[in-house]
Structure 1
Amino acid sequence: MSDRDWETPLTSNTLEQRYEIIQQLAKKAGRRTLLARDRKTEELVVVKLLSFTSDFEWDALKLFEREAKILQAISHPAIPRYLDYYELDFNNGNKGFALVQTYISGKSIEEYLKSGRSFDEVEIKQLAKAVLEILIYLHGRQPPVIHRDIKPSNILLGDRSGNSIGQVYLVDFGSVQTLAAKEGGTMTVVGTYGYMPPEQFGDRTVPASDLYSLGTTLVYLVTGTHPADLPQKDGRIQFELLTNLSLEFTQWLRRMIEPSLERRFTSAEHALQELIQPQLVDIVLSTTQQPSDSKVKLTRKADTLEILLPAKGWNFGVGFTTAFTTFYNLILVPATGIAFSPYWRISHPLIWLIVGGLWYGNYILISGVLKYLLKRVRLKISSQEIELTHEIIGWKYRHIFNASKQDVSALKLIYGYHGNRRYMHIWIGKNRYELWGDSILTEPEMEWLAQEVSSCLGIEISREPNFYIPKGD
């Protein structure tokens, strides 16, 4: 269908002798979106045209009529307002329809991204809050109204004011659905790939489906990459390593894009409440829980996950070292002193070497006992970095590593390695570090903590094959 076929018999640039066409905003098969001026009000309007072309599908008319009907029934300052709807006769003899709605001045998120603008976490939260408030209004209608096509090109931003991101608008209700319409018959599967939740592909749409689309839109903003181009694991988009978001916002965003409806936020109200007042304990995605007898201390703050492993306490190694230290100080040191007593006043290097050796031995033995009894392992993961330290009574005596979260390349649980023990290793680039072994943790504790670290970092845990290396090989 040529552009001339879209002209009405009245005039080439005016519809119904009222709407003066200024420019074309968008087009696709059988449809046009135009910017026009209403001669009666002198205001700018948007006119959507639908024509019965040779490739016309009745589903298109059904969606077009539903958009007009729903826009006529709703009223929200962040949604285009319905103005008019009428039938048209085109020059080629085809019939068509026109939907007129208010024009919203602003650029889409998509346009801002393509122009190179970036959004920080504060701005993205403002955007999320604004869209959620719109969704609360739509989903609260009777019957609930589901947009079904939330994406960067359908979210507009007005002029910024101060530290605010500006007025946020939700447009293009061409894919809209109500639950009543769904119950009345089969729905057309619509949406945009990359932003559609799994259930929408199966012709099932619920209010939480809009939350998934909003979540993937926000993922696009924080990563700069289209959601369809990001890696996935078990159907969930893996975005965490490409961002420097706070832990609380990362976990909130995970809930928004959960492929499973059961694990996604149930409503826009719930999502908004968690965004404003995060409850990290409630939204951790671990599939395991802390064993009831575990003494590990796990703390979640606004943007930090901290794991503190207790000291090993008294065991055979500590008992043996303590016994030897007692023998060393009560028997070996006095015996050595008696043996060399005639020479104590002689300034001989050998005497000082023996004395120094005795004191150094004491230091090694006593510090070893203290480490066994009091050493604790602390793993701290913040929004930007990960740190592993050893400490005694709050004093960090050994700094294992401090790295950016983006430098973490792998997590591995190794079973049956070196005498059939269990270890958890983390790779920072090409360097490997042991987080902890089973000399401190039980197997349930190991699995629980591995899930917690994996969830926080957004990295899948891999497990080494179970094998045993005999001593002497």
Structure 2
Amino acid sequence: MLEEKTILQNRYILKQKLAQNAGRQTWLAEDISIQPAETVILKFLSFGEQFQWQDLKLFEREADILKQLSHPKIPKYRDYFSVEDKNNWFALVQEYIPGESLKQLIEKKQRFTEEELRKIAAEVLEILCYLHTLNPQVIHRDIKPSNLMLGGDKQVYLIDFGAVQDNAAAKGATFTVVGTYGYAPLEQFGGRTVPASDLYALGATLIHLATGIIPADLPQKQMRIQFQDRVNLSNNFMRWIEKLTEPDIEQRFSSAPQALEALNNRLAVNSSGEISKPYGSRIKLDKSYNHLEIEVPRRGITVESIFLILFCIFWFIPTSFAILFNPTVIIFWIFGLMPFTMFFLPAFGHFSVDFNRVEFVMQWKLLGFTYRQKTGKTSAIDNITVGKTSYKVNDQKLKMVSMEAGAIKFDFGGFSPKLADAERRWLIAEIKDWLGI
């Protein structure tokens, strides 16, 4: 009988029972053979009424696999022994990772930001890159919130290799169905497990962390987990998770390195690649995951602006003096603002739009002063198209970039600034790519 303060092997003092189910127990213990004593984890398998030989096979496989692993984010193997009492126990000793499991954090109603989810995803994928490239290959088969620890160092650790499959087992004639419903992909329950199976489980775990709902309790459509309306994530990150959790293996990322590369590139999953800036364009564009900044500089002195200067001399100065003697002349003075606007703003005006994951800000400036500004919610943008302004040149309406956010439209690039067709197409493609539309 396992009890607190029991000493095993003249070495391990049982301190606290952490879990118990189906003939298994997990204990927090101290290894007193080392000074100062070190905290360890002891996992026990009972040779009692509920014992099945397959359980022992998996238990021994976990010990054998852990002996071979050497990764800073995986608990180290310490010892393996048996305990003789009325039940007889097999014991596996592992390194203790201080911290809390992601399941415990969910139970505390903690919600995770997109940046936190990306960090978790990246760290788990780095572990999987290591496991999946071992020879023989190691597939965890049970990635879920309870098997991911957030350590005291704020790093993510992968624990519990009780369902692990190595390459030798994968080639066997029979399979034991392991994994947790809601996290394990369909092929795993059919006896086929591949590296992409762990990727599915990671995606389902991220869905649980983002929604606070167990994936099995979420609705499905064509076997795909429907979570999009319950989260506040960027479109490209949602599509990345969707690709992880594709029911068809062929539609998923094929490997952890591929999934990690797509995550780190911060691009839409289905992006066609780098988008070329039109030759000769003076537009400045700076794109990272968190921000997209577009700046359209002033056009500068042109033939039109020279005309404007002459116009100012021969119109505004005389009419300004005339107003002093006849106030009604102000009507003609105001009338002169139309060509002022038509030439001065494009020549000396400056436009910028700055996106972050929460909102975007559009600014129109003249000689350094903001004369117009619009703000909107980034996540509300659902389409970007070529629109048309009310202005006409040669009887043709000027085209612009039109961002649709529900019932609201945010337009630019039709008049001030005026964009070339190639620049307009390029900016639409860049913004769509960043948003993942």
- Place the TM-score, normalised by the shorter chain, in its bin: 0.5 to 0.7
Amino acid at match of 1:433: F
C-alpha deviations, 1:391-447, integer Å up to 9, x for none?
457764321x224545x264365889999988734327x64433567995759955x
Corresponding residue to 2:161 among 161, 170, 173: 173
Aligned residue number for residue 353 of structure 1:
328
Corresponding residue to 2:63 among 52, 55, 68: 68
Give the 3 Å change call, closer, same or farther, for CA 195–441 of structure 1 in structure 2: farther
Deviation at 1:173, TM superposition (A): 0.9
Larger gyration radius, structure 1 or structure 2: 1
Aligned residue number for residue 365 of structure 1:
339
Give the 3 Å change call, closer, same or farther, for CA 121–252 of structure 1 in structure 2: closer
Counterparts of 2:332 and 2:28 in 1: how far apart (Å)?
Answer: 95
Aligned residue number for residue 471 of structure 1:
none
Amino acid at match of 1:114: E
Give the 3 Å change call, closer, same or farther, for CA 178–68 of structure 1 in structure 2: same
Corresponding residue to 2:372 among 386, 398, 408: 398
Give SS of 2:104's match: helix
Aligned residue number for residue 402 of structure 2:
424
C-alpha deviations, 1:244-298, integer Å up to 9, x for none?
xxx9xx9679657633677748445983x888xx555x66753486477575654
Deviation at 1:453, TM superposition (A): 3.5
Aligned residue number for residue 411 of structure 2:
434
Q: Are residue 192 (structure 1) and residue 180 (structure 2) matched? A: yes
Corresponding residue to 2:383 among 405, 411, 436: 411
Aligned residue number for residue 466 of structure 1:
none
Give SS of 2:431's match: helix
Give the 3 Å change call, closer, same or farther, for CA 256–434 of structure 1 in structure 2: same
Q: Are residue 46 (structure 1) and residue 42 (structure 2) matched? A: yes
Aligned residue number for residue 300 of structure 1:
287
Does the Cα contact within 8 Å between 2:308 and 2:344 map onto a contact in 1?
A: no
Alignment of 1:62-461 (within 5 A): 62-76=57-71, 78-81=74-77, 83-84=79-80, 98-102=90-94, 104=96, 106=98, 107-116=100-109, 131=124, 134-158=127-151, 160=152, 164-165=153-154, 168-185=156-173, 187-188=175-176, 190-196=178-184, 200=188, 204-207=192-195, 209-211=197-199, 213-214=201-202, 217=205, 221=209, 223=210, 225-226=212-213, 228=215, 238=228, 242=232, 255=240, 258-259=243-244, 264=253, 266-267=255-256, 271=260, 279-280=265-266, 285-287=270-272, 290=275, 293=278, 295=281, 298-301=285-288, 303-308=290-295, 351-354=326-329, 356-371=330-345, 377-391=351-365, 396-399=370-373, 401-405=374-378, 408=380, 410-411=382-383, 413=385, 424-427=402-405, 431-434=408-411, 440=419, 442=421, 446=425, 449-450=427-428, 452-457=430-435
Counterparts of 2:313 and 2:108 in 1: how far apart (Å)?
Answer: 75
Give SS of 2:171's match: helix
Normalising by structure 1, what TM-score?
0.61
Normalising by structure 2, what TM-score?
0.65
Q: How many residue pairs get matched? A: 409
Counterparts of 1:71 and 1:88 in 2: how far apart (Å)?
Answer: 24
Unaligned runs of 5+ in 1: 1-6, 461-473
Does the Cα contact within 8 Å between 2:24 and 2:46 map onto a contact in 1?
A: yes
C-alpha deviations, 1:7-28, integer Å up to 9, x for none?
79xx9x9899988877654344
Counterparts of 2:298 and 2:382 in 1: how far apart (Å)?
Answer: 26
Deviation at 1:174, TM superposition (A): 1.7
Amino acid at match of 1:74: L
Counterparts of 1:389 and 1:170 in 2: how far apart (Å)?
Answer: 47
Amino acid at match of 2:101: S
Deviation at 1:109, TM superposition (A): 2.5
Identity across aligned pairs (percent)?
Answer: 30
Counterparts of 1:386 and 1:232 in 2: how far apart (Å)?
Answer: 33
Does the Cα contact within 8 Å between 1:291 and 1:445 map onto a contact in 2?
A: no
Give the 3 Å change call, closer, same or farther, for CA 104–239 of structure 1 in structure 2: farther
Unaligned runs of 5+ in 2: 391-395
Amino acid at match of 1:46: L
Deviation at 1:361, TM superposition (A): 1.8
Amino acid at match of 1:380: D
C-alpha deviations, 1:188-219, integer Å up to 9, x for none?
45433554467656755444554554465456
Counterparts of 1:17 and 1:202 in 2: how far apart (Å)?
Answer: 41
Give SS of 1:242's match: coil
Counterparts of 2:343 and 2:429 in 1: how far apart (Å)?
Answer: 32
Amino acid at match of 1:352: P
Give SS of 2:162's match: coil
Counterparts of 1:182 and 1:398 in 2: how far apart (Å)?
Answer: 64
Counterparts of 1:117 and 1:437 in 2: how far apart (Å)?
Answer: 46
Deviation at 1:33, TM superposition (A): 2.0
Does the Cα contact within 8 Å between 2:298 and 2:350 map onto a contact in 1?
A: yes
Deviation at 1:381, TM superposition (A): 0.9
Deviation at 1:224, TM superposition (A): 5.8
Does the Cα contact within 8 Å between 1:256 and 1:264 map onto a contact in 2?
A: no
Give SS of 1:49's match: strand
Does the Cα contact within 8 Å between 1:124 and 1:218 map onto a contact in 2?
A: yes
Give the 3 Å change call, closer, same or farther, for CA 307–432 of structure 1 in structure 2: same
Give the 3 Å change call, closer, same or farther, for CA 394–145 of structure 1 in structure 2: farther
Give the 3 Å change call, closer, same or farther, for CA 310–101 of structure 1 in structure 2: same
Does the Cα contact within 8 Å between 1:241 and 1:457 map onto a contact in 2?
A: no
Does the Cα contact within 8 Å between 1:31 and 1:49 map onto a contact in 2?
A: yes
Counterparts of 1:89 and 1:20 in 2: how far apart (Å)?
Answer: 17
Does the Cα contact within 8 Å between 1:148 and 1:191 map onto a contact in 2?
A: yes
Does the Cα contact within 8 Å between 2:211 and 2:227 map onto a contact in 1?
A: no
Does the Cα contact within 8 Å between 1:132 and 1:269 map onto a contact in 2?
A: no
C-alpha deviations, 1:119-146, integer Å up to 9, x for none?
6788777766654554454334311212
Backbone CA RMSD of aligned residues? 5.7
Give the 3 Å change call, closer, same or farther, for CA 239–171 of structure 1 in structure 2: farther
